[in-house]
Structure 1
């Protein structure tokens, strides 16, 4: 098991306070294991496991507890057996009808600390702090791969990561391509059906799948409901703009993809249309839709974006008049700019990537990331190898 210390570092200082800790992220992205890690951390701090109450609402035995009233009675019975503070762990809490009122009543009624996990971003809570749990980073994937195949070269590991993505369960399949892709296809179907169709009572499943497929075909592309509707119209299908907007929002709430707003750097203003969408896991795209090798630059950009989000950056897509900056990354008072390319194979491509910064007049650090092994830094703009960036935690 890979110990995800980067998340524990965020959670550990908050253990012991009254805030509800909420773990969100894509289905099967590692939230349940993080709840296990938190329990292990509490035991190390001297808390007896007898104070733990845990439910996973995807388990068949807990189906009768998906109503808030039934669950409250079940928890109350167990709380009566605990002398002092209890620690409550609810996995896939969004499956419980009336869960918001249930959580509120728990806090009012008992001395307890509550940890929630859910695959939908609108998991309810009162006084809460939210932690986004992502699939494995390249560094975590590399650690798992080396456990399975000691001595594997980094190039081989990165190729496999590029093909399969970072869903944690791939380790149990030994990263074998056919088995992994079959798992990812099944996961995609489950995610769409359970976290989007059933949750939002969608009737036109075929249209939903087409909208999701459109996003998966164009990661990192500026999309709008009007644009997608126009593309469908060319194929003879008339689709309401509001329906497409809703379907995009459902995908974001299910953590299937991320919405990145565009940032007009000259006016220092966020634009309200043309957001970019990136995938929660690029391996799902390859398993379900294929074509990764034809879209290398697009997938590398997606990989870098996820790493920036893992590291706590607020990310926007920069515009400077006629040029665009892939990522404007802010954390606290700091800012960095990042351009992503596959290979800087010609002077023209170099000029395109480095020249994108010509209109950016501030003194924040500027980077170009590519798969080139040679340092091509120029004009005060640093060049970094993408693999080196992904395993360097100092950024």
Structure 2
């Protein structure tokens, strides 16, 4: 069974032969290698590229261990290139090679090679040592399966697919597993033995128990504002463990660099400025998050919020959490400050959307809670509430759009309704 990743293939095709190094990033096991070595390679072959002009190297494979040496790898690539025709280099998990940026920069000076690399850690794109390379790199971020991709190959109806996706997430391997036990065991195993182990070893972390507990705390608090100081105080008061806020901040960065989590800034909509404290954190794949918590905490509202956030990133939007300050007078005439939250402030070019995510909107109190934030936003950009269910979008008397989760997820341009 092959899962189409047409949106990502399109991005690769658009960047083909553009003179830059195509850098495909994303969490491990999200399908980067399959996209590059199967889907994109097939496209090259079908469009007239000879097989001997496609160079494939998977650096995480033991068979290519010697090619992790940058000089050996560079000589190998040079030796394969027998003529002046264009070659296509597909280099997987480039972070396994020290000084890889020197190899890529050297290759970039050759006129007849088009380079594509994958990496499972964002640090190699942002560290000072690769500033020169970054200017020549063209990043394509890959995510686990969107719900639309997941549903396209799912053996069952929408409701079953939605329930499975909320629990087990969208890692491609999950689709082929039949039993709930297989899925749960797979996710638990790779979280500990692939993702967390990779973070610990790459960053030479000594306090392994602490970062494990930190992951659990972040998993329990998806969608809730938090900060390293608050987490550090929790370790001190509840666990009698010393885990400084600086160390916690570094470890959160490591988890984000490995694409396990995303940090979301809070944005003051009226003041038009970012608020540095109390960021929110979401998991790149909810199956991994749920597995880490042994599938105990299944709060549908927070899970829906995480899924909407990931879907917005997949569609290429920039996403923040919105804050709206409102000043009023209490019963005694004193001026008081109220703060309303907008789940997501979504930007793309000159377009902006404000989005609330609600599991249930049947009660008048819940409607008031979701709409009050919108009512205090002083602009006319579209305001949308995404609710659980399959309802088609409609506008209420105030002009706010209400749409079901199914419509949002299965229509790529749903926000434009």
Q: TM-score if structure 1 supplies the norm length?
A: 0.94
Query: What is the distance in 2 between the residues matched to 1:376 and 1:108?
Result: 55
Query: What is the distance in 1 between the residues matched to 2:53 and 2:205?
Result: 40
Partner of 2:163: 159
Partner of 2:310: 306
Deviation beyond 6 Å, 4+ runs, structure 1: none
Closer/same/farther in 2, CA of residues 22 and 335 from structure 1, 3 Å limit = same
- Matched-pair contact (CA < 8 Å) for 1:138–1:161: yes
> How many residues are treated as equivalent by the alignment?
388
Closer/same/farther in 2, CA of residues 75 and 111 from structure 1, 3 Å limit = same
Partner of 1:180: 183
Partner of 1:240: 244
Query: What is the distance in 2 between the residues matched to 1:329 and 1:8?
Result: 25
Q: Alignment partner for residue 406 of structure 2, among 376, 387, 395? A: 387
Tell whether 2:117 aligns with 1:116. yes
For structure 1, the residue ranges without an aligned partner over 5 or more in a row are: none
Tell whether 2:394 aligns with 1:361. no
Query: What is the distance in 2 between the residues matched to 1:190 and 1:289?
Result: 16
- How far 1:278 moved relative to its partner? 0.5
Partner of 1:15: 16
SS at match of 1:113: strand
Partner of 1:135: 144
Query: What is the distance in 2 between the residues matched to 1:307 and 1:292?
Result: 24
Residues 31-77 of structure 1: CA deviation (Å, up to 9, x unaligned): 01110222122222211121011111111111122121121122222
SS at match of 1:54: strand
Aligned pairs (5 A) from 1:1-395: 1-35=2-36, 36-79=38-81, 81-109=82-110, 111-124=112-125, 125-126=133-134, 127-145=136-154, 149=155, 152-174=156-178, 176-235=179-238, 236-291=240-295, 294-321=298-325, 322-373=339-390, 377-378=395-396, 379-394=398-413, 395=415
Closer/same/farther in 2, CA of residues 69 and 365 from structure 1, 3 Å limit = same
SS at match of 1:238: coil
SS at match of 1:178: helix
Decide which moves more: 270-279 or 25-34.
270-279
Query: What is the distance in 2 between the residues matched to 1:90 and 1:259?
Result: 28
Decide which moves more: 36-45 or 322-331.
36-45
Closer/same/farther in 2, CA of residues 293 and 376 from structure 1, 3 Å limit = farther
Decide which moves more: 261-270 or 69-78.
69-78
- Matched-pair contact (CA < 8 Å) for 2:145–2:170: yes
- Matched-pair contact (CA < 8 Å) for 1:24–1:117: yes
Query: What is the distance in 2 between the residues matched to 1:344 and 1:372?
Result: 11
Query: What is the distance in 1 between the residues matched to 2:390 and 2:217?
Result: 33
- How far 1:340 moved relative to its partner? 0.4
RMSD: 1.6
- How far 1:292 moved relative to its partner? 5.9
Residues 282-340 of structure 1: CA deviation (Å, up to 9, x unaligned): 01122221346641100000000000000010000000011000000000110001000
- Matched-pair contact (CA < 8 Å) for 1:25–1:120: yes
